[in-house]
């Protein structure tokens, strides 16, 4: 379990680094087709969900709603990842960084679900 939590923390840090790098490159390069408003809104959501997951990983995080919120955030991250993969693969302009970020989000979502999701035991009659 400790190794999974370490991998999740590393994945979260990688996500934050990727968001910072892509945001900085967007500001520096100023590509003509860039939608700054959409990117920074999406980057803000991704960063907030990632920070939520990192906060839930802390041993002192005993707030009742924090871990279920991280699990819900993992679902949102997975949905965004699927959306970005679909958009990247069907677009005439291939964005490799977009595909890599989506892959990181899929890994982070899976690790978050594995670390925090505890299914309730099912009682049979």
Instruction: Give tens-digit pLDDT for 82-108.
Output: 999 999 899 888 888 889 999 999 999
CA distance 43 to 51: 12
Return the pLDDT at 58. 84
What integer pLDDT is reported at residue 3 of this predicted model?
A: 86
- The pLDDT of residue 43: 95
State yes or no: pLDDT of 123 exceeds 90: no
Q: What is the residue extent of each domain of the chain?
A: 2-116
pLDDT band, residue 124 (cuts 50/70/90): low
- Nearest-angstrom CA–CA distance, 83 and 72: 17
CA-closest candidate to residue 44, choices 22, 69, 70: 22
pLDDT band at 121 (very low <50, low <70, confident <90, very high): low
For the stretch 26-85, pLDDT in tens is 999 998 888 899 999 999 999 999 999 999 988 776 677 888 899 999 999 999 999 999
Q: What is the mean pLDDT of the chain?
A: 89
The confidence score (pLDDT) of residue 95 equals 82
CB neighbours of residue 12 within 10 Å: 22
How far is Cα 78 from Cα 6, in angstroms, rounded to an integer?
20
- The dihedral region occupied by 35, where left means phi > 0, alpha psi between -120 and 50, and beta the remainder, is beta
Take residue 47 and report the two structure tokens written for it. 């960063």
> Whats the size of the chain, residue-wise?
125
Q: What is each CA distance from 71 to 52, 63, 98, 115, in whole angstroms?
A: 10, 14, 23, 9
The H helix count followed by the E strand count for the chain is: 4, 0
């Amino acid at each position: 379990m400790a190794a999974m939590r370490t991998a999740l923390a590393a994945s979260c840090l990688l996500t934050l680094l990727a968001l910072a790098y892509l945001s900085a490159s967007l500001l520096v390069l100023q590509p003509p087709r860039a939608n700054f408003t959409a990117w920074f809104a999406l980057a803000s959501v991704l960063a907030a969900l990632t920070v939520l997951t990192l906060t839930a990983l802390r041993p002192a995080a005993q707030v009742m709603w924090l871990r279920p919120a991280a699990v819900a955030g993992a679902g949102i991250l997975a949905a965004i990842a699927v959306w970005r993969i679909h958009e990247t693969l069907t677009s005439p302009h291939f964005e490799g960084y977009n595909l890599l970020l989506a892959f990181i989000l899929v890994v982070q979502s899976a690790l978050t679900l594995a670390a925090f999701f505890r299914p309730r035991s099912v009682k049979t009659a």
